[in-house]
Amino acid sequence: MSEPTAVSTGSGVAPMGTPLRWWRRLILRNEAVRGYTLLSPTLFLMTLALGAPVFFLFLVSFFTQDLLEISTDFSLENYMSFLGKENYQKLLWRSLKVSGFVTVLSVVLAYPMAYFIAFRVRKNKFAWLILITVPFWTSYLLRVFAWKIVLGHNGVINSGLTELGFIEEPLTFLLYNPFAVVLTLAHAWAAFAIMPIYVSLEKIDRSLLEAARDLGDGPAMRFWRVTLPLSMAGVVAASLLVFIPTVGDFVTPTMVGGPKGTLIGNLIQIQFGKANNWPLGAALSVISLIAITAVVCAFLWFTKRVRTQEL
Amino acid sequence: MDIDDTIKRIRNRDISRRDLNKALASVGLATVAMPLTSRRGLAEEQAIYYTWSGYDIPELWPSYLEMHGEPPETPIFGDAEESFVKVRAGYVVDVMHPCSNNVPRWRHAGVLQAIDVSRLSNWGDVVPALKTVKDGVFGDEHWFIPFEWGQTSVTYRTDLFDLAGEEESWGMLWDERYAGRLSIIDAAEDSWWCAAIYAGIDTDNLTDADIQKVFDLLVQQQKLLLFRQSDMTTVEQALASGELAAAMTWNSSPLTLTREGVPVKFANVKEGALTWVCGMVLTADAPHYDKAHDLLNAMIAPEVGKFIIEDYGYGHSNSKAFQLVSDDELFARGLTSDPMEILGAGTFLQAQTEDIEQKINRDWGELIAMI
């Protein structure tokens, strides 16, 4: 329909009448444009659902709130109050520590399970993977509550030990402290650690393991020099998947943490609720975002160094 | 096509594929079309009552059920401030359930509207002192319908908590001997005010120094707490198991526990308990204005009051409700037929200036970061 002569191939500027043809040419010539076009639905969603909210969070963190009025004048007050309050810093530090323990615990517990499925299970692997997710078919809250029943004052552990005559008084260090938070979170996020480790173990070329054995490595050395380094990608992915979301968790500490197990997520949540100080809540969120990013970068840098040195 | 005939044909394999498909298609079409022809009209929209858990049961609105055949919708909040923040952020409901001290601030924020009490046939029976509760009336307009009232005090295990000859006092919740076996309510409305009573400050004229004094007391208490409860089940279970020796509760908890045979007492604290009245407010953009009034009227009926007194242990706003309950039953709940005897005896939870309320709420937020 459109005249072929309307497009002069050398000019570079497409005539207004044929934007579609111009677009097609751009796509055919430029690989990057093709890539972004393919990505565009996802990119659009990400910008709308993630980019924009984070941008607004960042923006609000420079505002101040008095009563119900949010003043949009630029202010560093919220950030200054974080720097000025040792308690806030301690709380963030505690949250990072708790998440660190959760990450280590869940990865250490997940690795043998993933290993077992990848190397020992021959039949029905898929069924095994489904089995691992079975506890996660119940609600997150129910699982947290289950831990309350296990660890509680007259819960499973305490009543069991009392029945057996090991203890007279119920143990009080089980519930309402950071320990309970670590345990509950590690269990709740276990599936997220197992899957990536399993995938990376599954991908390992079995002939490499045979080669290691032929060259004289025992099982321990073979694991240390071949299996572990080759599954590091999965371990790193698992660590990130567990660490990043748990820093901000506020449901688990609310239910099993008690005052000693409070985390930064609780402080942020209260700013958006009872304390009615959204800008401070936003600033605290931005600060934890930065802290998490810093920890993750340090972690990635470290694992990269370890890996390159070994190779 | 007759059904018996068809079955016979299928059995004898005397049916063409086309005929069988036709039969199956007619069955499928009938199944899909059935709800279209026999569907009842969509359920009529009901009033939305945004409330505490435990206040979402049919016993609270028998006459509403009778009038409309369906219960109101009852979304639930954890504490009143949360409901306020959500409604301000655009959540649409008709009726909310704060305590009287919240009403002036919520009203000022433009969230509420006045209630037409002339539509409430039970309004005449409401205890006069509650009708005119300071924070609920503006000019001659009523912005708050009182519902339940009670006290906040210390519930303690008489077999576990050793008073050591001392009088019952708010100090029980600061007792170092019971570190890790105490709890308070996770709401500034209760816990901040109880600490204020313990501090002995004049709650009618709060100064910055007073607020600081209460904050210091709360920080001191923080180390002694096992948890701060946001639901009463948690604290009742912990008291029953002996995990807690004493806890801040409303007057319903000791009633529940005593019924279960747990040796507890609701302390008659020497500094005076915290007394409060909670009830219903109407939101400014209530989409079901008429039904909301029907609900309000249903909730202040005498038989609802009887239920609240007998089962929850709180006082109710309808004066006739007290005639439906025996004096012994009232006494067992720490109630009398004259609410003012109790409400006047303690420190009444009332609204402060918005600046002071903000300070209190932010201090409360600050407190959870105190490690």
User: What is chain A's pLDDT, residue by residue, as a tens digit (311 residues)?
Assistant: 444 444 444 444 545 568 888 888 888 888 888 888 889 999 999 999 999 999 999 999 999 988 778 888 899 999 999 999 999 999 999 999 999 999 999 999 999 999 999 999 988 988 998 888 888 888 889 999 999 989 988 889 999 999 999 988 888 889 999 999 999 999 999 889 999 999 999 999 999 999 999 999 889 999 998 999 999 999 999 999 999 999 999 999 999 998 889 999 999 999 988 888 999 999 999 999 999 999 999 999 998 888 777 55
Tell me: pLDDT of B175 over 70.
Answer: yes
Instruction: Tell me, yes or no, whether B44 lies in a domain.
Output: no
Predicted pLDDT at A1: 43
Does one domain contain both B7 and B58? Answer: no
Domain CATH for B318: 3.40.190.10
The predicted complex's ipTM stands at 0.78
Does one domain contain both B77 and B16? Answer: no
Tell me: pLDDT of B292 over 90.
Answer: yes
Does one domain contain both B77 and B9? Answer: no
Look at A154 and B243 and tell me if their CB atoms are within 8 Å: yes
Q: What is the 3-state secondary structure (H, E, C) of A92-149?
A: HHHHHHHHHHHHHHHHHHHHHHHHHHHHHCCCCHHHHHHHHHHHHHCCHHHHHHHHHH
Range of the domain at B279: 50-371
Look at B355 and A90 and tell me if their CB atoms are within 8 Å: no
Mutation site for B-interface testing, chosen from A274, A277, A280, A284 by largest number of B Cβ within 10 Å? A274
B-chain residues within 8 Å CB-CB of A270? 364-365, 368
DSSP B201: -
Does one domain contain both B9 and B152? Answer: no
Instruction: Tell me, yes or no, whether B319 lies in a domain.
Output: yes
Does one domain contain both B201 and B115? Answer: yes
Q: Give the nearest chain B residue to A260 (CA atoms).
A: B371
Does one domain contain both B346 and B369? Answer: yes
Average pLDDT along chain B: 89
Burial annotation B273-285 (CB, 10 A radius, 16+ → b, else e): bbbbbbbbbbbee
Please write the tens of the pLDDT for every residue from B250-277. 988 999 999 999 999 999 999 999 999 9
Tell me: pLDDT of B1 over 70.
Answer: no
Please write the tens of the pLDDT for every residue from B207-221. 999 999 999 999 999
Q: Which helix (H) or strand (E) holds B358?
A: helix B354-367
Instruction: Tell me, yes or no, whether B45 lies in a domain.
Output: no
Q: What residues contact A185, with CB distance under 8 A and at least 6 apart?
A: A98, A99, A102, A106, A246, A249, A252
Does one domain contain both B21 and B132? Answer: no
Does one domain contain both B188 and B166? Answer: yes
Q: pLDDT tier at B81 (50, 70, 90 boundaries)? A: confident
Instruction: Tell me, yes or no, whether B158 lies in a domain.
Output: yes
Instruction: Tell me, yes or no, whether B182 lies in a domain.
Output: yes
Predicted pLDDT at B342: 82
Cβ contact B263:B158 at 8 Å: yes
Q: How many structural domains comprise chain B?
A: 2
Look at B362 and A153 and tell me if their CB atoms are within 8 Å: no
Look at B364 and A88 and tell me if their CB atoms are within 8 Å: no
Does one domain contain both B25 and B150? Answer: no
- Assign residue A226 a region (left: φ > 0; alpha: ψ between -120 and 50; beta: otherwise): alpha
Distance CA B96, CA B99 (A): 10
Does one domain contain both B190 and B80? Answer: yes
Q: What residues contact B358, with CB distance under 8 A and at least 6 apart?
A: A66, A67, A276
Look at B226 and A176 and tell me if their CB atoms are within 8 Å: yes
Select the residue of B81, B354, B369 nearest A274 (Cβ to Cβ).
Answer: B81
Q: pLDDT tier at B32 (50, 70, 90 boundaries)? A: low
Does one domain contain both B259 and B316? Answer: yes
Tell me: pLDDT of B36 over 60.
Answer: no
B248 class by beta-carbon count within 10 Å (0-12 exposed, 13-18 middle, 19+ buried): buried
Select the residue of A153, A267, A274 nearest B369 (Cβ to Cβ).
Answer: A267
Tell me: pLDDT of B230 over 90.
Answer: no
Instruction: Tell me, yes or no, whether B76 lies in a domain.
Output: yes
**Average of per-residue pLDDT across B105-134:** 93
- Domains of chain A plus CATH, in order, are 4-48 (no CATH), 84-310 (1.10.3720.10)
Distance CA A92, CA A52 (A): 25
Look at B358 and A276 and tell me if their CB atoms are within 8 Å: yes
Predicted pLDDT at B80: 85
Does one domain contain both B226 and B360? Answer: yes
Interface of A with B (CB under 8 A): 66-68, 85, 87-88, 90-91, 94, 152-154, 170, 172, 176, 254, 258-260, 262, 266-267, 270-277
